Amino acid sequence: MLIAKKIEFSYQKDQKFNIPDLNLNPGQQLLILGQSGSGKTTILNILGGLLKPHKGEVLINGTDLYSLGGAALDKFRGNNIGIIFQKPHILAPLTVEENLKLANFFSGTDGAKNEDLLSDLGISHKRKAKVNTLSEGEAQRVSIARALANSPKIILADEPTASLDDLNAANVVKLLKQQAEKFNAVLIIVTHDQRVKDHIANQITIGGEV
Amino acid sequence: MNMLKLSWKYLIAKPLNTGLNILLLALGLAIITVLILIQDQFESKMTRDAEGIDLVVGAKGSPLQLILSSVYHIDFPTGNIDMNDAMALSKNRLVKNIIPMGLGDNYQGYRIVGTNYDYLDLYSAQVQEGSRWDKPFEVVLGFEVATKLGLGIGDNFIGSHGIGSSSHEHDEHPYTITGILQPMGNVLDKLILTSIESVWYTHDDDHDHEKFEKSVAKTGFPETDEDREVTSLLLQYRNPMAAVQLPRYINSRSALQAASPSFEISRLFELLGVGVKLIQGLAIVIIVIAGLGIFIALFNSLKERKYDLAVMRTLGASSRQLFVHIVLEGVILTVLGAIVGILIGHLFIGILVMQNDQGAISTLSASVFLVEELWIIAYAVAVGIIASLIPAWSAYQTDIAKQLTKS
């Protein structure tokens, strides 16, 4: 499903990132651990089609991500990859529901699952709410719902628990796992948060031991 | 969800900013709308009123004043001319038709015009009710005069001397209304029409009641043994040659002056043009400032929105869609501004007309919409696109990965 081969990337010439090859099947989950500055987010950006690596290729469902150009890559990303960030980044002028619909609009899907998603994540009562009326935990759940609105094959989460308390953090990881299993999607979480360690057995560490 | 709705949501998230930009643009466009409406309606009205009149002959004075008083009935007459001179002119072979006019009286601000049936026929005026005048002191009212003053067939009134209201009254001779004209949409609507004889006899000191019973002249000049005067003559050329020879011939004679309506009116618009240009300039400055306002608003909001844009990209939006998203915001702003501006312009004219029920302004209409107003919307859209180009380009170039890692 997700294959990353011989990827090389560096921001500066003397500071190369060590990026492991990956090969994940549908439904597989992976936790990438690493300290700040170890290149976790860079890996995620490369896997998510946001940052073109200098060498190597990322194959999703047989499609070489970086052979797609411009708008095609954007569309592919919208349809196949759901990305969750450390901060929820809900678009403030839109309601919760409209945030999901926007994701549907950009990727051209019908959004039939939006209702179920919101109730699965326990925020369907907030669907008409604006982002500034949500709590941190709720907002992060909305961002998960939005990332999943197009039923992606790959779910990438970048420090999804960093700004949450223990209870919410555990909840968010649980929800991510649940949804990934439900859609039979690949789930990759990158984090330095030790609280996530116990939830996902398949782990790699980059940039030295945490 | 679509691009239009997305841009709209972002606009109404900042209602004050959006409202101010719309209002500023609307103000500039409202001024342009008012100018266009006034110019168009004045011009078409002036052309309509002067149709069929090649030349106006009257006493020496300002040619523009002669035209304004005799054709449009808005200025004071230049004076009177001797009827013998006028009759001599009517025999000229270059003259096809000549209509004498006796001006100088009014009733409640509406001018009483002494003339003959030719003047009605010049505008193909039909009597809606009653009949045309036949005897002295019989009058036909323009449609607006009848409705505004609430007068009907058979009613009497006493004219006043002078062309504005509340001057001294000719209390000896009441006029009788014999007819009311159809609504014409031109200067006739505001006139009280009668025979030249009526105007003469009003000003006479003796009262020869026998001649009051005689029928008046329906065309040409009335027959009279006395020394009589008329105010002006409306003239039609027999051939194009007349346009060259006749004005020169008339102006070379000491007592008379000839003026061409089309020439004088284009001169008038030239004079007014300076003022119009000034106001136009002001409107353009306001529109440019409005455009700058929109540019600054979009540019500033973009700084806060870079992250939103990057998130949209991760959701599958292409760079081109982000470009369109920002341009749409500018275009929505300016289209709304244009619509509000056009409405304000029409409202302004409407209020202006309501407050002036006589005179030149009262002939304007607020409910006339012109093709030029579509151009206003087109210009507004152009302003919107230009103002949003730079912000949109910057949105187009959003580097997603960099933007997302930066926070």
The pairing of strands A2-8 and A55-60 is antiparallel
Domain boundary residue, one of B199, B225, B259: B259
Cα separation, B310 vs B293, whole angstroms:
25
Closest-CA distance of chain B to residue A106, Å: 5
A to B CB pairs, distance under 8 Å:
73
**In this structure, are B244 and B370 located in the same domain?**
no
The pLDDT score that the predictor gives to residue A53 is: 85
Query: Under 8 Å CB-to-CB from A209, ≥6 apart: which residues?
Result: none
Residue A70 is nearest to which of B319, B404, B405, comparing CB atoms? B319
Residue B266 in any domain: the answer is: no
Tell me: do B296 and B248 sit in the same domain: no
CB contact under 8 A, A78 and B317: yes
Of B316, B321, B401, the CB nearest to A50: B401
Structural domain contains residue B402: yes
B128 lies in some domain: yes
- Please provide the average confidence, as pLDDT, over all residues in chain A: 85
Residues B319 and B362 in one domain: yes
| pLDDT higher than threshold 80 for residue A145 | yes
Report yes or no on B200 lying in a domain.
Answer: yes
A41, A74, A101 member nearest B316 (Cβ) = A74
Provide block-wise average pLDDT over 10 residues at a time, chain B (407 residues). Answer: 89 90 90 86 84 92 92 89 89 91 89 92 90 91 91 89 64 85 89 91 75 81 85 92 89 87 88 84 88 88 86 89 92 93 93 77 77 88 91 88 74
> In which domain, by residue range, is B349 found?
3-46+274-406
Confirm whether B268 is domain-assigned.
Answer: no
CATH superfamily label, A2-205: P-loop containing nucleotide triphosphate hydrolases (3.40.50.300)
B93 shares its domain with B26: no
Look at strands A29-33 and A203-205 and give their pairing: parallel
Task: Read off the pLDDT of residues B343-390 as tens digits, 9 standing for 90 and up.
Answer: 999 999 999 888 876 666 777 777 888 888 898 899 889 989 998 999
Task: Give, in order, the Cα–Cα distances in Å from B152 to each of A82, B139, B141, B145.
Answer: 82, 11, 9, 10
Residue A10's pLDDT is what?
A: 79
Contact between residue B349 and residue B363 where contact means Cβ atoms under 8 Å apart:
no
What pLDDT is recorded for position B378? 92
Query: Do B301 and B391 share a domain, yes or no?
Result: yes
Choosing from B230, B259, B288, the residue where a domain stops is B259
Please check whether residues B128 and B149 belong to one and the same domain: yes
**Domain ranges across chain A:** 2-205
Q: Are residues B330 and B350 in the same domain?
A: yes
- Whether B104 is in a domain gets the answer yes
Q: Is residue B116 located within the same domain as residue B160? A: yes
B1/A78 touch (CB, cutoff 8 Å), yes or no: no
Q: Which residue has the higher pLDDT, A42 or A17?
A: A42
- C-beta neighbour count of B172 within 10 angstroms: 11
pLDDT at A210 (0 to 100) = 44
CA dihedral B206→B209→B212→B215, nearest 10 degrees, is -130
Looking at chain B, which residue has its C-alpha nearest residue A74? B316
Could you tell me if residue B265 is inside a domain? no
Please write the tens of the pLDDT for every residue from B15-39: 998 999 899 889 988 988 988 888 8
A121 vs B60 pLDDT, higher one:
B60
Domain co-membership, B62 together with B41? no
Decide: pTM greater than 0.80.
no
B193/B339 same-domain check: no
Number of domains comprising chain B: 2
Pairwise CB contact (< 8 Å): A91 & B311: yes
Q: B102 and B232 share a domain?
A: yes
Q: How far is B4 from chain A (nearest CA, A)?
A: 12
Q: Are residues B35 and B74 in the same domain?
A: no
Q: Which residues of B touch A70 (CB under 8 A)?
A: 318-319
Chain A residue with the nearest C-alpha to that of B9: A93
Please indicate if any CB of chain A lies within 8 Å of the CB of B10: yes
DSSP codes of every residue in B32-81: HHHHHHHHHHHHHHHHHHHTT--EEEEESS-HHHHHIIIII--S-----E
pLDDT digits (tens, 9 = 90+) for B276-293: 888 888 888 988 888 898
